[in-house]
Amino acid sequence: MKKVFVDTAAWLALLNIDDIWHQQAKEIRLELVKQNYIFITTEFVLLEVGDALCSQVLRKNTANFLHNIYQLKSTKIITLSQDLLQLGLSLYEQRLDKDWGLTDCISFVVMQREQIQEAFTSDKHFEQAGFIRLLQNN
Protein backbone atom coordinates (compact mmCIF):
# COMPACT_ATOMS: atom_id res chain seq x y z
CA MET A 1 0.00 0.00 0.00
CA LYS A 2 1.35 3.44 -0.98
CA LYS A 3 1.67 6.01 1.79
CA VAL A 4 2.21 9.75 1.74
CA PHE A 5 2.94 11.97 4.71
CA VAL A 6 0.64 15.01 4.89
CA ASP A 7 2.33 18.00 6.49
CA THR A 8 0.77 21.14 7.90
CA ALA A 9 1.38 23.09 4.68
CA ALA A 10 -0.78 20.68 2.66
CA TRP A 11 -3.65 20.70 5.16
CA LEU A 12 -3.53 24.52 5.23
CA ALA A 13 -3.56 24.68 1.45
CA LEU A 14 -6.49 22.27 1.21
CA LEU A 15 -8.54 24.00 3.89
CA ASN A 16 -7.90 27.64 3.00
CA ILE A 17 -9.06 28.72 -0.47
CA ASP A 18 -6.92 31.85 -0.16
CA ASP A 19 -3.72 29.83 0.26
CA ILE A 20 -1.33 30.20 -2.69
CA TRP A 21 -0.97 26.39 -2.86
CA HIS A 22 -4.74 25.68 -2.72
CA GLN A 23 -5.36 24.72 -6.35
CA GLN A 24 -2.21 22.62 -6.70
CA ALA A 25 -2.92 20.89 -3.36
CA LYS A 26 -6.45 19.96 -4.51
CA GLU A 27 -5.07 18.47 -7.73
CA ILE A 28 -2.37 16.49 -5.92
CA ARG A 29 -4.87 15.21 -3.36
CA LEU A 30 -7.19 13.99 -6.11
CA GLU A 31 -4.33 12.20 -7.86
CA LEU A 32 -3.21 10.56 -4.61
CA VAL A 33 -6.78 9.42 -3.90
CA LYS A 34 -7.04 7.95 -7.42
CA GLN A 35 -3.85 6.00 -6.76
CA ASN A 36 -5.24 4.71 -3.42
CA TYR A 37 -2.60 6.33 -1.23
CA ILE A 38 -3.00 6.21 2.52
CA PHE A 39 -2.57 9.67 4.04
CA ILE A 40 -0.36 9.66 7.14
CA THR A 41 -0.22 12.65 9.48
CA THR A 42 0.35 13.31 13.17
CA GLU A 43 -1.50 15.02 15.95
CA PHE A 44 1.54 17.32 16.18
CA VAL A 45 0.74 18.47 12.61
CA LEU A 46 -2.95 18.82 13.48
CA LEU A 47 -2.01 21.12 16.37
CA GLU A 48 -0.19 23.35 13.90
CA VAL A 49 -3.22 23.35 11.62
CA GLY A 50 -5.45 24.45 14.49
CA ASP A 51 -2.98 27.15 15.47
CA ALA A 52 -2.61 28.47 11.92
CA LEU A 53 -6.33 28.52 11.09
CA CYS A 54 -7.61 30.02 14.34
CA SER A 55 -9.09 33.24 12.97
CA GLN A 56 -12.76 33.83 13.66
CA VAL A 57 -13.56 33.35 9.97
CA LEU A 58 -11.84 29.94 9.76
CA ARG A 59 -12.22 28.57 13.30
CA LYS A 60 -15.55 26.74 12.88
CA ASN A 61 -14.50 24.93 9.68
CA THR A 62 -11.11 24.14 11.20
CA ALA A 63 -12.72 22.64 14.30
CA ASN A 64 -15.04 20.55 12.10
CA PHE A 65 -12.07 19.32 10.08
CA LEU A 66 -10.12 18.40 13.23
CA HIS A 67 -13.09 16.47 14.62
CA ASN A 68 -13.88 14.67 11.36
CA ILE A 69 -10.38 13.76 10.17
CA TYR A 70 -10.36 10.82 12.59
CA GLN A 71 -13.27 9.26 10.68
CA LEU A 72 -11.52 9.25 7.29
CA LYS A 73 -10.63 5.71 6.27
CA SER A 74 -7.94 6.97 3.90
CA THR A 75 -6.11 8.81 6.70
CA LYS A 76 -3.99 7.39 9.52
CA ILE A 77 -3.20 9.76 12.37
CA ILE A 78 -0.16 9.09 14.53
CA THR A 79 -1.09 10.13 18.06
CA LEU A 80 0.85 12.35 20.42
CA SER A 81 3.24 10.41 22.61
CA GLN A 82 6.15 11.19 24.85
CA ASP A 83 8.24 8.62 22.95
CA LEU A 84 7.62 10.31 19.61
CA LEU A 85 8.28 13.74 21.10
CA GLN A 86 11.60 12.53 22.52
CA LEU A 87 12.67 10.96 19.21
CA GLY A 88 11.82 14.18 17.39
CA LEU A 89 13.66 16.22 20.01
CA SER A 90 16.71 14.00 19.59
CA LEU A 91 16.78 14.70 15.83
CA TYR A 92 16.14 18.40 16.55
CA GLU A 93 19.21 18.47 18.82
CA GLN A 94 21.39 16.48 16.40
CA ARG A 95 20.80 18.75 13.40
CA LEU A 96 22.14 22.05 14.69
CA ASP A 97 23.09 22.92 11.10
CA LYS A 98 19.38 23.09 10.08
CA ASP A 99 16.50 25.35 11.02
CA TRP A 100 14.02 22.47 11.15
CA GLY A 101 11.16 22.93 13.59
CA LEU A 102 10.40 20.33 16.23
CA THR A 103 7.20 19.27 14.45
CA ASP A 104 9.20 18.77 11.25
CA CYS A 105 11.68 16.57 13.12
CA ILE A 106 8.83 14.50 14.53
CA SER A 107 7.39 14.21 11.02
CA PHE A 108 10.76 12.98 9.70
CA VAL A 109 10.89 10.32 12.43
CA VAL A 110 7.38 9.17 11.51
CA MET A 111 8.26 9.07 7.81
CA GLN A 112 11.31 6.93 8.53
CA ARG A 113 9.32 4.59 10.79
CA GLU A 114 6.52 4.24 8.22
CA GLN A 115 8.98 3.97 5.30
CA ILE A 116 7.43 6.95 3.50
CA GLN A 117 9.38 8.82 0.84
CA GLU A 118 6.76 11.33 -0.36
CA ALA A 119 5.71 14.37 1.63
CA PHE A 120 2.56 16.26 0.69
CA THR A 121 3.97 19.66 1.61
CA SER A 122 5.52 22.82 0.22
CA ASP A 123 8.09 22.86 3.05
CA LYS A 124 11.63 22.63 1.64
CA HIS A 125 12.87 21.13 4.91
CA PHE A 126 11.44 17.79 3.80
CA GLU A 127 13.72 17.85 0.76
CA GLN A 128 16.67 18.76 2.99
CA ALA A 129 15.86 15.67 5.05
CA GLY A 130 15.92 13.48 1.93
CA PHE A 131 12.21 13.18 1.12
CA ILE A 132 10.26 14.01 -2.03
CA ARG A 133 8.23 17.22 -1.72
CA LEU A 134 5.00 17.10 -3.76
CA LEU A 135 3.97 20.78 -3.64
CA GLN A 136 6.43 22.58 -5.91
CA ASN A 137 6.62 25.97 -7.61
CA ASN A 138 5.51 25.49 -11.20
Question: 81 lies in a domain?
Answer: yes
> Which helix (H) or strand (E) segment is 118 a member of?
strand 118-120
Q: What is the pLDDT along the chain (138 residues), one digit of tens a residue?
A: 899 999 999 999 999 999 999 999 999 999 999 999 999 999 999 999 999 999 999 999 999 999 999 999 999 999 999 999 999 999 999 999 999 999 999 999 999 999 999 999 999 999 999 999 999 986
Question: 74 lies in a domain?
Answer: yes
Question: 124 lies in a domain?
Answer: yes
The CATH number assigned to the domain holding 120 equals: 3.40.50.1010
Residue 85: closest CA among 51, 109, 61: 109
Question: 67 lies in a domain?
Answer: yes
Q: What is the pLDDT of residues 73-110, one digit of tens each?
A: 999 999 999 999 999 999 999 999 999 999 999 999 99
Domain tally for the chain? 1
Question: 138 lies in a domain?
Answer: no
**Inter-residue long-range contacts of 46-52, CB under 8 Å, 24+ positions, other chains counted:** 46/11, 46/77, 47/103, 48/8, 48/103, 49/8, 49/11, 49/12, 49/15, 52/8, 52/12
Residue span of the structural domain in which 51 resides: 3-133
Question: 78 lies in a domain?
Answer: yes
